[in-house]
């Protein structure tokens, strides 16, 4: 039993990382969203018979894989961080 007059020794608290999004994760999310929007613009324009600027097709071709790799790196970092605990 603990003595109510005696305070509990405080443990060094770690900053909880639940709910936090890292910088890499946020960059990957933004790149994936922008790439998705770009693809949607291309598809809608194609359905309407229009031709859009070539950058709208090149952007997702480059940045979807970049976003995927950033997410893989972030998952690996998170796994290593949890393993060290």
pLDDT digits 0-9 by tens, 39-61? 999 999 999 999 888 888 899 99
Domain-wise residue ranges, the chain: 23-84
What b/e string do you get for 27-46 counting C-beta neighbours within 10 Å, with b at 16 or more?
ebeebbeebeebbebbeeee
pTM: 0.68
Q: What is the pLDDT of residues 58-82, one digit of tens each?
A: 999 999 999 999 999 999 998 998 8
C-beta separation of 51 from 45 below 8 A: yes
Structure tokens at 85: 């605990």
Rounded CA gap, 64 and 67, in Å?
5
Count other Cβ atoms within 10 Å, centred on residue 79: 10
Rounded CA gap, 25 and 64, in Å?
13
């Amino acid at each position: 039993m603990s003595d109510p007059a005696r305070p509990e020794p405080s443990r060094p608290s770690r900053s909880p990382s639940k709910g936090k999004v890292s910088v890499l994760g946020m960059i990957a999310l933004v790149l994936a969203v922008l790439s998705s929007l770009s693809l949607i613009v291309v598809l809608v324009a194609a359905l309407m018979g229009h031709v859009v600027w070539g950058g709208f097709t090149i952007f997702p071709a480059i940045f979807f894989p970049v976003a995927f790799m950033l997410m893989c790196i972030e998952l690996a970092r998170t796994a290593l961080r949890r393993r060290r605990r």
